[in-house]
Copies of this chain bind each other. A is one copy, B any other.
């Protein structure tokens, strides 16, 4: 079944990057929220509720943000689904609008990682896979090796994901990195989990992104006569990443998340004009695009190297620069992806515009349980 779509009245973010300690979580979130409110032409009195996605912000971070923003007396809720936290907050806001509970809602995704995460996100002490060395980067390294073996892909083809995404974000003023990187730079970067090097990995980032979503009545409240893009829905699937076939790249959970998205929105894979993909590692962009059924199995690396997923290609992926180059403040990422879809569908994405974009999909994957299953995948669909 499909629910009523949510109208995007506003989108805003701050530049992702590494901020000093005095730029607090709350300050970043307030900056993004004000940008989204300004974009919507909305003031605080027109907001019905606030949905906040974050992982490391601590208890009632959303309430601290709302208080600093100047909201008082509204429903505020905190949503955590690891790297899919921001997307989950968007999903629950969309559901509340569809139910008729609210008409104008503010969604904020935020993370201050540099204060809390030194070097990388540490695995849970109870994570038995991590205890034997199967940490996140190692898992993606194995995925890359297996992909190369199974599909005859080359290391250069996988590195092309990083080259492409860094090239895209040269045109994104909100990206953490805004300079191109060469294939040699990717190949010669410090090894992290072979064959992957530093530039195959998304960075530790601080940042915030926000949106204002509305019902039709909400659009009228804001005096918006030309409705913006519509969020048609967002699927959420938690479960096994590997279905027990022994193939780390089967991405069964992505396949199911795609099916759910088509069911929830009435959109099909053939309608998708661009994708904001959770490229926490280069190889992840490739296998997840294939898992969604948007690129044939085994063809993703070759497609990337041939420019098919670049701006101007058959199916542009990560025009924003993605997690690899826009940055990855985990709770903010899902909302930043939806901001990018908004700008792309409005046709205001400047030098990184996907020409003629009518329908976009964004994908997040949040968390694993013991490195192998239990993660959450979100697939959000937005149309012009």
> A residues near B, CB below 8 A?
1, 3, 49-50, 55, 58-60, 62-64, 66-67, 71-82, 88, 91-92, 95-96, 98-101, 124, 235-240, 253, 256, 366-369, 373-376
Alpha-carbon gap, A226 to B178, bound state (A): 62
| Contact of A99 with B238 at beta-carbon distance under 8 Å, contacts A63-B375, A64-B369 already known | no
Shortest beta-carbon distance, A69 to chain B, in Å?
A: 11
Contact in complex: B236, A99 (CB < 8 Å): no
Q: Which listed residue (B59, B82, B88, B101) contacts A55, Cβ 8 A?
A: B59
Shortest beta-carbon distance, A23 to chain B, in Å?
A: 14
Contact in complex: B77, A77 (CB < 8 Å): no
Contact in complex: A79, B77 (CB < 8 Å): yes
Residues of chain B within 8 A (CB-CB) of A1 are: 100-101
Shortest beta-carbon distance, A245 to chain B, in Å?
A: 14
Q: Which listed residue (B49, B237, B367) contacts A74, Cβ 8 A?
A: B237
Shortest beta-carbon distance, A3 to chain B, in Å?
A: 6
Alpha-carbon gap, A276 to B100, bound state (A): 28
Alpha-carbon gap, A108 to B204, bound state (A): 32
Contact in complex: A236, B75 (CB < 8 Å): yes
Residues of chain B within 8 A (CB-CB) of A238 are: 50, 62-63, 66, 71, 73-76
Q: Which listed residue (B71, B77, B239, B375) contacts A88, Cβ 8 A?
A: B77
Alpha-carbon gap, A382 to B3, bound state (A): 26
Contact in complex: B92, A101 (CB < 8 Å): no
Residues of chain B within 8 A (CB-CB) of A236 are: 49, 75-77
Contact in complex: B369, A60 (CB < 8 Å): yes
Alpha-carbon gap, A380 to B79, bound state (A): 20
Alpha-carbon gap, A74 to B241, bound state (A): 13
Pairs A-B, 8 closest by C-beta atoms: A60-B367, A99-B99, A75-B236, A76-B238, A63-B374, A73-B239, A72-B239, A78-B80
Besides A60-B376, A67-B373, A78-B80, 14 other A-B contacts (C-beta < 8 A):
A1-B100, A3-B101, A59-B367, A60-B80, A60-B81, A60-B374, A74-B237, A76-B236, A76-B238, A76-B376, A77-B79, A77-B92, A95-B99, A98-B99
Alpha-carbon gap, A376 to B62, bound state (A): 10
Alpha-carbon gap, A240 to B81, bound state (A): 28
Could you name 9 residue pairs across A and B whose Cβ atoms are closer than 8 Å? Answer: A1-B101, A60-B80, A60-B82, A63-B238, A64-B369, A67-B374, A72-B240, A74-B238, A77-B88
Contact in complex: B100, A375 (CB < 8 Å): no
Contact in complex: A63, B96 (CB < 8 Å): no
Shortest beta-carbon distance, A2 to chain B, in Å?
A: 9
Residues of chain B within 8 A (CB-CB) of A76 are: 81, 236, 238, 376
Which B-chain residue is minimally distant from A49 (CB atoms)? B236
Residues of chain B within 8 A (CB-CB) of A49 are: 236
Alpha-carbon gap, A133 to B236, bound state (A): 43
Which B-chain residue is minimally distant from A25 (CB atoms)? B126
Contact in complex: B81, A77 (CB < 8 Å): yes
